[in-house]
Structure formats: structure tokens, C-alpha cells
Structure 1
Amino acid sequence: MDQQLKILLVAAELTPLAKVGGLADVIGSLPKALADLNIDVRIALPKYGIIDLTKYPCQKKVEGLTLDFDGQRETFDLWETALPGASPHKNYHIPVYLIDHPKFLGTGGIYPAPDASSQGSDFEARRFGFFSQAVLKIFQPLKWAPDVIHCHDWHTAMLPALTKLTDNPRPTLLTIHNLAYQGDFAADLVLNMFGPKLDSLATIQQRLNVAETINFLEQGILNADLLNTVSPSYAAEILTAEFGCGLEKPLDRRRPQLSGILNGLDVERFNPQTDTEINHNFLADNLVGKTRNKKDLQAAGRLRLGADIPLIGMVSRLAEQKGLDILLPIMKKLMKLKAQFVFLGAGDPSYEKKLKKLGKKKNVFVDIGFNAKLAQLIYAGSDMFLMPSKFEPCGLGQMISMRYGTLPIVRATGGLKDTVKEINAQSGTGFTFTAYNQQALYKTITAAINLYSTDQTVWQRAVKEAMNQNFSWANSAKKYLELYNKLTA
């Protein structure tokens, strides 16, 4: 029998232990699909103070591990818990290793700054720098070492460089979930954290010749053995100046090692037949429950009840990236149409303020914040789902909405382009536009409303096709396995 492949996923977030965004959902779902492929998969995560130890009990595995960091000898402990939420039909156990160091990892939530992308404070540099360095110290005491270290985003992007400085370098894969967040810190700070050996790396020397900072993500791009992003289209887009966020040149140097693998969806959690967060379950062949969910959503939003009124939902972080800068200016015109709008999200205070004002109108409902139950009702009860993103590495909202028979209205970029097929008389699952401007978005929304109002035959066919799309992690996990096999061949 072949020896089981050993993979360690290293990340800043993990659903449900410590979540801010979509990164957490990937780290919570991909390992289950990898375990189905008979991979010995494990996860490393900081032991944040916000992790609920009553919900997720853990046991101390190793005490008093040491490492030299930032000019000091630091001591940390290693704890272990198991990935929650694995299917009751499976008998696998996915260990989660928690690195415990109160000073660097225990305080201030996951990201100490209010903006998860802040990547600018010295504390954040030390937090994720320490975590990355500590991960390399756990293999010996565990008597287990990965065949591949799978790093995620800038927080762990120094690992490919750091493992090269050890006596036993390990193959690395770096997955870029969002290139806009990079971790760019003063060179003196980074060199002091990791010690003089870091300066021996050619990529560090090259950086110091042209800049006074060290960019964690750039170092990951240049040092990882393989790279991938979370959709094929985004992998192509980030090689351009428009989407490359200043890193298009190093990415282009690594073009042969770069690929795109679409994120999957946790299809057990997002299942309209069994979802306990909605009052009425339904199937692609019987949409009575969907109509009832729409009525519930209209009632929750104090909107006029009526199955014939097109209802457009949006669940989003309120940021410019998500298309609010082209959506909000056309809302006045859109509200004159025979349609209803529901918004759920939080983020940029200026967008929150504008949406709250819109929420006073009779055909608009706005909830600022995040409410998981309301989010599911929006996915299940809306007719259309808005994602007019400026860029979207993968996006999960459009996949969830299609799973619930809610047709997405998206800009054809990144993962949105890869997952939503334009509706015509014969096929298609949503509505797309290419030019990032108010006119293109308005035209696409009005076309969607018009189709809903005039051709329910085509609409219902599209709903059925959308619900029958296969976005499970099984497909993506096989593609990750191909990359792991390349690294261990």
C-alpha cells in the first residue's frame, strides 16, 4: 500500500473556530474533501484568545517549545483540537494544531486592526511572523512532518522562505486568496524578527536593493515551489497591471508554477433541502418552499408581499471592491422599477450610512451587520443576487445563491466569470456584464427584472440549471492533489 500523503494547511483563519472572511470557509472545508481522497491532512492555526474553548475543547500536546524571534528567546505551547463539522457519515479525524503564545497570538481577535487587510502594523507583522516561524518547530515533537506545507495568503507567505533556511526544507504551495492584501513591512523590523539568516536569501537581497520594506506575499510568490489562486480567471488576471496590485512582475516570473483552482462550496451546509436556517426547504423540481421563503423575506423586510414582484438580494462586505461605488449611484433609478431590494452587510462607514438612508424607502430593506439566519433567507428567498464586483478572486455568494435557485447578477471577473453562465433561451445560470460602470450594471439589472416579469418559462429553466450546478469541494480537492503530487514526485 502506498504511504499516505501528509499535508499541513497553515492559515490565519478557520471556520468555525476563528472566522473573519472567506479564507476561513476554505480552510474549514477543503481538508474534509482532501481526507476523502485518503490524505493525512492537518491544520495549523494561532491559538487566538477569541477561540471558544468550551465549544472546541483542546488538549495540550507539547509544552515549552522555544524559538529565537525578534532578538529574544520565546517559549510557546502546542495544543490540539479536531476540525468540527465533519460529516457524521465519515469516520475521519482532522487534527488542528493551535500555536499558543499569549503575547503575540492571544490578544486582539484575529486581526488586531479593525480592517482585516490592515497589514501595516508592527504587531501584525510580529503576530504572523512568529506564527510562521513556530509552525516549523512543531514537527519534531509531534513525530509527524508534512510532505507539503500548504500556505494561505500573506499571513503565512513567509513560510516558503523560512523553510529554505532550515536543515530540512519542505515543499511548499502558496494559495493566494486575495492579492490586494500583501503584508508589507519595514525591512529592519522583518530582518530583526527572523534573524540574519533571512538576509542570505537571494529574494530578500533583491528586494532590499530596490525597497526599504519586505513584502510577505511577494516573498511567498518568489519562494514557494508552486502557486495557485482561487479561480482560473483570477490566475490570468493577476498577471496584468489592472489586477496585479503591484506584484504582476514577480507573478509573471513564476507564471509556469502558477495555476487557478476554483474554491468549492460546503454542499452539506448550503443545501436547500436540509438547511435548518430557513423555514421552508425545497428542491429544484419543487420550488413551493422557495416561494414561501420569499414571502418570509418580504415580511422580515416589511416589504409588500407578492410572488410576482422581483426581489433582488445582496449579502456583502461593504467595500468598494464589491461594486458599491457603481451600484449606489443608480439606486435612485432602480427604485423606480417594479422591484424590491434587500441588503445585508457591514464595512465602510460611508457605504453603511448611504444604505441606511436607502433603507427608509418602501421597496428597500437594509440590515447593517451580519446575521447568518437572515443571510440564508436572502439566498433562499430572493429571485436575484447582486455581485457587481470590481474584482473577485473566487466568490462564494454567487455559488450559494445558485444552489438556492437565486440567479446571480455579476460582473464577469475572476471566479464570477468562471461560475456564472449568461442566460439565453436554451441555457445559462445568471446575468453578466463586463465594463465596470454604472450604465452596464443598470442595463444588466433591468434585463434581469424584465426576463423575470415577461418569461417565467426561461426563468424557471435557468433556476433549475443553477440549482443543479456542482460546486462541491470534491472537484477542487482532486486538483489540489495533482499539485501535491507534483511537489512530492
Structure 2
Amino acid sequence: MHVLHVASEVFPYSRSGGLGDVLGALPAVQARLEGESLGAEVTVLSPWYAGLAGTPREVWRGELPGSGGTLGPVRAGELREGGVRFLFLDLPGFARPGLYHDDDVERFCAFGRAALPLLSALGVRPDVLHGHDWQAGLAVAHAHLAGWRTAYTVHNLQYQGRWTLAEARGWTGLPDWAFSPEGLEFHGDLNLMKAGLVFADHVTTVSPTYAREITTPQYGEGLDGLLVRLTLEGRLSGILNGLDQERWDPRRDPDIRPYADATGKAANGGALRSEFGLDAAPLLGVVSRLADQKGMDLLIRALPELVQDWNVVVLGGGDPLLTAALTGWAHHPRVAFVAGLNEALAHRIYAGADIFAMPSRFEPCGLSQMIALRYGTLPVVRETGGLVDTVPPDVGFRFAAAEPEALLDACRLARRTLDDPAEWRGRVTRGMALDFSWDNPARHYLELYARLAGLSAETPAAPR
């Protein structure tokens, strides 16, 4: 079986967050499982960004269809790593620094429209095309119209790839009937997330709880009616993300003082305190995008009381107002804030903190809580999405309401529990023993692909 993943980023070549992490880990595990009955040959297609962290070998150069007729000359490159073939499509709109820009809908329409002609030119015809998030929605639509089997994963429903339909429909290369409310039209806009939902043979999300949540008005981002229909048709399910076990391993992590169990954490906590000049109080860590989704405003509003019990170390970037608020706290002797991304510091926070706060308003899956658990740092999380599926109540500390006081109550319980060494050690030990490897999710996806590939071919039809 041959599987093709289509995504806007893939670690370590391009990455802005969790999507890149998933595409850096899942295909490699699927390729490693090829020797099993459900194994697969795996290819990944992604844009060839100007700042790509790698040098692909050029394997094709020519012209591809675009909104103005043809795009050309364009090229494709190839890298092979861990049994996976990575293809990179170099289009004019991607020849500048950075991954994402204000014209992304137009750029990823060009990418999605050109994907199948490129694959045809390279002689690639997978058994299943698996698209990821809105940037791959148009590729899924074109694959469906070509009679290919398709899967589509929603990593975050909030980001949908919308643009005024009157301007954007010419970018897509789709027939007129695709722009109805049953198709890509959404309140007068083109919606590329909806393209994937409507055209895919099966839709997954990155946790079972999030798969249920997005069928409700609270979490459905205006698409809950469509998602309810997919659920009733048996075309929507949740498959929990995994964690890269080699990249996140406290026993071999070069950025920390390695340890194998709960007793080894103390040295990392001391090092983190020394790094930021903090006192002997226990450590609360945060590594996060600074965004409303992540509940960082709840954390900031809780800081006046949190610092009575905890040193607070925050690493993250994003919303300027949240950044400014945290910067204003950086003078406090128990608060350390580092703006932006810093991979090595993230590892030190996971290893050195006692608890790890994730007060998310919604969380499709989340990787940070899995990393924290693997590093023996107990998560304090809101009961939503993948946080429910990964943080057992006898390990971490969960709270229901998206309110500062609820977060504080959970942190107060954590502080009281820390004073009971046996109880605390038991929670840490149970957390570090949890299995978040990609093996089980990879097998679930391979089983899904096998079911899809076994379906009898149908004539491509209008959106269901």
C-alpha cells in the first residue's frame, strides 16, 4: 500500500508548530511498520519554502496549471529520510522567507491545484492521499475528482483558509457546482477546510474527545452541522496523536541533565532556578503559543496568586497584548518570561518544572502535556479535547471552567499534593510510564487506509 501525505509543513524541514511535528513523526513510523501486514510505502508532499531546512535533489522541472493558465517553470525536489520519500514543490508564491503570510489562501490554492499534475508527472499514484488541515483541502478535492481515495485530518478547526468567494473561485480549478453551500461556499467565502471535509472519504481529528466536541456549536466553528452529518455517516473519527519518542526522551536529551525516573528531576529544577535567578519555591512551567485558544489570559490573570506558591517560567510568542502583559511581569522575582521560540529552553523547562500549565479554551490534541508527562512534570490542564484523553486524573490536575479561579484551584491542589512526597512520586512515576508512542496511532491510520483502499471505485461525484 502506498500512502501520500499532503501538508504545509514537515519537521525538520519546515515547522511552525504541532502540524509539522506530526508530519515529522507519523510517516516515519508508518514506513517502519511496512514489514507488518498493514505497513505502507510513504511519501510526503509539502511546499519548497525559501528557507527550507534541507537541500532537496531536483527531480522535475516544468509547467503546472494555475489560475492564470500555467505556472512555470516550476520544479520539484526530493529528500529521503527514515524510509520516507519527501517531495517538495517549488512554486513562485513560496520563494520568500517564512512559512505563512497574508496571501496564504491564494498560495495554497496554487499548491493544491498543482499537486496532482505534479504527482502525475512523477508517476506517483498512491492508494490513499491523506491531507492535513486547510492548506491541503484543495488537494483532497482534486484527488476525489480524479477518483483517488482520500483521508483528511483536522488538526485545528479554528483555522479554515477562508477568502471572498468571488475573488478566490478562479484560483481553485474546480467546476462551478463545487461552489454551492453543500460544497466550498461558506457565508459568501471560499473555505478550504470545508473542501477537505466535504470531499474526503473519511475525516479524522487528532483526539477522540475533540472529534465529539467539534460536532457542537461551542467548538464547531460554524461547521458543526456538517460535522454532525459526517459523524452520522460514519465518516468522522478521532485518532489521538503520538509523541516523537526519540526527540523527547529525558534519558538521552542533550539539552538537559538526563534522568530516567522521578528522582532525577531535581538537578534540572535547580539548574532552571539558577538560570533565571529564582528562589527555592516549586516551579510552574509554560511552553506555548500566546493565544486566546491557549488560555494565556487566564494564566496572566491568575499570576498575582500563583506567585505566592510558585516560580513561573513562561516561553512563548504570539499575541502582542499577551506578550506585553507577560513582559510587564518579568521584573517579578518569581516570574521569568522569554518571548519567542527556543527549542533548547523548552526542553529545560519540561525537565525542570514541577507542574506544567495548559489552561486551553480548546485543545484538539496538544503535545506539550505528553512531553511534560514523559519528563515527569505533572500537567495542570483544562478538561477539553486531547487534554482529557491524555492526562489521567490520578496523574495530572484537571479543571473544567475556563476561569482564572478554576486554574488556581487546580494549582493549589497540586501544591498541597507536592507536600506529600509519596503521592507526588506515584503521580510522576505513573505519568512517565504512559505510552504516547506513534505506533498505535500509526496502526489506526494504516487500518483506515486499508479500508479506504479496499472500497470499490466510484465515479467522482458532487459533494455529498
Alignment correspondent of 1:362: 333
The separation in 2 between residues aligned to 1:156 and 1:129, in whole angstroms, is 9
The 3-state SS of whatever aligns with 2:105 is helix
Q: Does 1:125 align with 2:105?
A: yes
Question: 1:71 maps to which residue?
Answer: 68
Q: Give the deviation of 1:320 after TM superposition.
A: 1.1
CA 1:8–1:209: 2 relative to 1, 3 Å: closer
What is the aligned counterpart of 1:96 among 62, 86, 95?
Answer: 86
Structure 2 residue 292 is matched with structure 1 residue 311: no
Quote the residue 1:277 is aligned against.
Answer: 255
The answer (yes or no) to whether the contact 2:283–2:311 under 8 Å persists in 1 is yes
How far does residue 357 in structure 1 lie from its aligned partner after superposition?
1.5
2:162 equivalent in structure 1: 184
Q: Secondary structure at the match of 1:95?
A: strand
- 1:16 matched to 2:12? The reply is yes
> SS at the partner of 1:138?
helix
- Residue 119 of structure 1 corresponds to none
Contact 2:138 2:172 in 1 (8 A): no
Aligned partner (choices 141, 146, 158) of residue 161 of structure 1: 141
Whole-Å Cα distance in 2 between the matches of residues 211 and 349 of structure 1? 29
So what's the TM-score if we normalise by structure 2?
0.93
The answer on whether the counterparts of 1:191 and 1:198 sit within 8 Å (CA) in structure 2 is no
SS at match of 1:336: helix
Unpaired stretches in structure 1, ≥5 consecutive residues: 87-92, 114-122, 423-427
Residue 296 of structure 1 and its aligned partner are, at CA, apart by 0.4
Distance (Å, rounded) in 2 between the aligned partners of 1:336 and 1:484: 52
1:205/1:392 Cα in 2 relative to 1: closer, same or farther (>3 Å)? Answer: closer
- Pairwise CA RMSD: 1.5
CA distance in 2, matches of 1:131, 1:390: 32
Partner Cα distance (2:144, 2:303) in 1: 53
Match among 415, 432, 436 for residue 471 of structure 1: 436
Give deviations 1:209-249, integer Å, cap 9, x for gaps.
Answer: 87421211112111110000000000000000000011101
Give SS of 2:249's match: coil
Q: Is the 1:227–1:258 Cα contact (8 Å) retained in structure 2?
A: yes
Matched, 1:264 2:242: yes
Deviations 1:300-354 (A, max 9, x none): 11102x3xx32111111011111122221121122223x2111111111111111
Matches within 5 A, 1:326-475: 326-337=298-309, 339-422=310-393, 428-453=394-419, 455-475=420-440
Question: Secondary structure at the residue paired with 1:239?
Answer: coil
Cα distance in 2 for residues equivalent to 1:259 and 1:439: 33
Indicate if the aligned counterparts of 1:165 and 1:198 stay in contact, CA closer than 8 A. no
How many residues matched? 446
Please give the alpha-carbon distance, in whole angstroms, between the structure 2 residues aligned to 1:99 and 1:330.
46
3-state secondary structure, aligned to 1:259: strand
1:26 counterpart = 2:22: yes
Q: Distance in 2 between matches of 1:276 and 1:463?
A: 22
**Counterparts of 1:438 and 1:211 in 2: how far apart (Å)?**
35
- Please point out which of 189, 198, 206 is paired with 2:175: 198
Partner of 2:461: none
Give 3-state SS (helix, strand or coil) of 2:379's partner. strand
TM-score (norm 1): 0.88
Q: Which residue identity is paired with 2:444? A: K
Query: Per-residue displacement from partner, 1:421-443 (whole Å, max 9, x unpaired)?
Result: 11xxxxx2200011111221111
Cα separation, 2, equivalents of 1:208 and 1:78: 28
Cα distance, 1:190 vs. partner? 2.6
Percent of aligned positions with the same letter in both sequences? 37
**Structure 1 residues 158 and 300: alpha-carbon distance in aligned structure 2, compared to 1, 3 A threshold:** same
Q: Distance in 2 between matches of 1:181 and 1:211?
A: 15
Which whole-Å CA distance do the structure 2 matches of 1:219 and 1:139 have between them?
20
User: Shift of residue 208 of structure 1?
Assistant: 7.9
Sort the Cα spacing of 1:62 and 1:209 in 2 relative to 1 into closer, same or farther, 3 A. closer
Task: Tell me, yes or no, if the aligned pair for 2:162 and 2:191 is still in contact at 8 Å.
Answer: yes
Task: Specify whether residues 259 and 209 from structure 1 end up closer, same or farther in structure 2 by C-alpha distance, changes over 3 A only.
Answer: closer
Distance 1:373 1:205, change over 3 A: closer
- Give deviations 1:154-185, integer Å, cap 9, x for gaps: 0011222222333xx21110100000000111
- What amino acid is the match of 2:26? L
Q: State the one-letter code of the partner of 2:247.
A: R
Aligned residue for 1:150?
130
